[in-house]
Amino acid sequence: NTIVLATGNAGKIRELSALLAELHPGLRVLGLNDFPEIGEIPETGATFEDNARIKALAVARATGLVAVADDSGLVVDALHGAPGVYSARYSGEGATDEKNVAKLLDAMKDVVDPWRGCHFACVMLAATPGGRELIGHGAWHGRVAHAPQGGAGFGYDPVFFDEELAMTAAQMDAQVKNSRSHRGLALRELLRGWPEFWKQ
Ligand code: ITT
């Protein structure tokens, strides 16, 4: 009953650990910090699913354990889907959350779209060392805010405005974000297939 989270993103680790403790208590969850010999895994895929598979398979093979990878990003309608799979490196070499958010707000200055619709997408993929896999998907729809608001979360959370709660993802309690987010949805879907996946 041990899995490895195949991610180096501290924000994802925080959210996934909380979700797993709630939804699948008793599961032992390791992280990449438990396997320092595993280096950077190049994300060469063209889709969230391809990249999730690359990361999960690489870590499952390197550790001999079931690995769970999360590939996610912000998809902006008026930017034809950008930054999408490039969300983590949107602002280029040395990208940070702050620089990515600044680049996004800058790109939105030039578009005429009063609604500023977008969604967060997540593909959660579990892989065994032998190459069996299980997938969950999640999407969270919202709007790109005009300025960052809130100090919680990570990444694009300060500019992701949830219409229903009338606040940004960075203004939500971690629990509230997890109950609505692309990541929470994808993990819940993944866990529905878990008993079958695990017993094989
Ligand atoms: P790993 O590959 O090691 O998991 P990463 O940060 O490189 O970490 P991705 O390639 O999946 O992961 O990029 C996801 C990016 O999308 C992430 O860096 C954020 O910029 C953004 N993102 C994803 N989920 C988010 C969330 O819940 N809130 C804010 N931004 C998010």
How confident is the model over 93-126, as pLDDT tens digits? 999 999 999 999 999 999 999 999 999 999 999 9
What is the band of 200 on the pLDDT scale with cuts at 50, 70, 90? confident
pLDDT at 128: 98
User: Which residues sit in the known binding site?
Assistant: 7-12, 71-72, 154-157, 177, 182-183
Q: Give the binding-site residues of ligand 1, using a 6 Å CB cut-off.
A: 7-9, 12, 43, 55, 70-74, 87-88, 100, 120, 153-157, 169, 181, 183
pLDDT digits (tens, 9 = 90+) for 137-182: 999 999 999 999 999 999 999 999 999 999 999 999 999 999 999 9
Name the percent of the chain in helix, strand, coil, to the closest 5: 40, 25, 35
Enter the tokens of residue 136. Answer: 């969950």
pLDDT at 188: 98
Cα(74) to centroid of ligand 1, in Å?
A: 9
Cα(45) to centroid of ligand 1, in Å?
A: 15
Please provide the CATH number assigned to the domain covering 2-199: 3.90.950.10
Q: Bridge partners of 67? A: 4, 127
Is 71 marked active-site?
Answer: yes
User: Catalytic one among 34, 50, 71, 106?
Assistant: 71
Q: How many residues does the chain have?
A: 200
pLDDT at 185: 98
pTM above 0.90, yes or no: yes
Scan for tokens 């993944």, then name that residue.
190
Which of 64, 58, 73 is CA-nearest to residue 12?
Answer: 73
State the sign of the Cα–Cα–Cα–Cα dihedral 178, 180, 181, 182: positive
What is the band of 85 on the pLDDT scale with cuts at 50, 70, 90? very high
Enumerate residues 6+ apart whose C-beta is below 8 A from 60: 4, 6, 66, 67, 127, 128, 129
Angle at 123 between CA 118 and CA 127, to 5 degrees: 170
Domain residue spans of the chain: 2-199
Question: Parallel, antiparallel, or unpaired: how do β-strands 28-31 and 2-5 relate?
Answer: parallel
**Closest-lying ligand 1 atom to the alpha carbon of residue 48:** 11
Please check whether residue 41 is in contact with residue 54, taking contact to mean a CB–CB distance below 8 angstroms: yes
At 78, the amino acid letter reads A
Cα(1) to centroid of ligand 1, in Å?
A: 26
Eight-state DSSP code of residue 64:
S
Enter the tokens of residue 151. Answer: 């100090």
